[in-house]
Amino acid sequence: MTPTNKQSSGHRTKARNRIIWVLVLLAFGAYVAWPYCFGWTVQNLENLIQAEVSQDSDRQEVESCLDRRGIRHIYEEDFGSVRFNDQTPPTFVDLREDNLSGMVIAQLSRRQVRSGILEIGTIYVFFFFDRQGKLAGHWIKRTSASL
C-alpha cells in the first residue's frame, strides 16, 4: 500500500517542524554560549593595543582602532568622572592628571566580553593623552559580577 499525498505531506510538515525547532535551539544555544566561548579578554585587548596603537598615537588614531572593532567609546576631560576604589584611572598607571589633556574610555559590554558561567563581565580600556595630544599610556580594567 502506498501513502497518499495527504499522509506524505503530513510527514514532510512534521520533519520541517523538527528541523525548525532544532535550528531555533541551536541559535539559542549559540546566543547563550557566545560569552563563554568567544569575546574579548584583557589579554586580547592588550595584544590589540600593542599591535595597532603606537606610542605616538593621537586621539583620532585610537578612536579609529576602536571603531574598526565596533567598540563603544567616549572622550572625557574630567578624570574624576570615573573612579575605582576612590581613585581616578590615571593613578593606576602612575600618571599625573595635570600632565594630561583627557582620556578615551572604551567599554566592552557583556556580550563582547568572554565570561565564565553565571558571570557577567565588562571591560573598560582607558587611553590617556598628554598635553600635546599624544598617547601617554593606557589601562585596562575588568569588572565582573556573579549571577
CB 100, CB 90: distance < 8 Å: yes
Domain map (residue ranges) of the chain: 1-37, 39-146
Helices (H) and strands (E) in the chain, counts: 3, 4
Backbone angles phi, psi at 146, to 5 degrees: -90, 145
- pLDDT bin (cut points 50, 70, 90) of residue 121 is confident
Residue 110: its pLDDT value, please? 74
pLDDT > 70 in the chain, percent: 83
Task: Name which of 90, 91, 102, 89 is nearest 132 in CA terms.
Answer: 102
Phi, psi of 100 (to 5 degrees): -115, 150
pLDDT confidence band for 17 (50 / 70 / 90): confident
Q: How confident is the model at residue 80 (pLDDT cuts 50, 70, 90)?
A: very high
142 SS3 class: strand
Task: Judge whether residue 8 has pLDDT over 90.
Answer: no
